[in-house]
Amino acid sequence: MAQTVSVIVGSEDRAHLAAIIGDRNRPLKHVQRANIILLSAERLPVLEVARRAGVSRPGVWRW
């Protein structure tokens, strides 16, 4: 059964998440989580978010 989750990210939060992704000193898990949030806000399918973020499908659902 498919579930739909809508993530709404404001411009200030989007800028903060983009800064996390661009920070090369951040742990990989923080970068992946920020990327998952931004990609989910674009309303991409879970499989596409997982592919682009480099994580598993359950990993996307967790975050």
Assigned domain for 56 exists: yes
**Integer Rg of the chain from CA:** 11
pTM, 2 dp: 0.85
How many domains does the chain divide into?
1
Assigned domain for 6 exists: no
What does the buried/exposed string (b/e) look like for 40-52 if buried means 16 or more CB atoms within 10 Å of the residue's CB? bbeebebeebbee
Assigned domain for 43 exists: yes
Range of the domain at 22: 11-62
Average pLDDT per 10 consecutive residues for the chain, totaling 63 residues: 74 96 95 95 92 93 85
Assigned domain for 2 exists: no
- pLDDT score at 63: 81
- pLDDT score at 62: 87
Q: Is 38 helix (H, G, I), strand (E, B) or coil?
A: helix
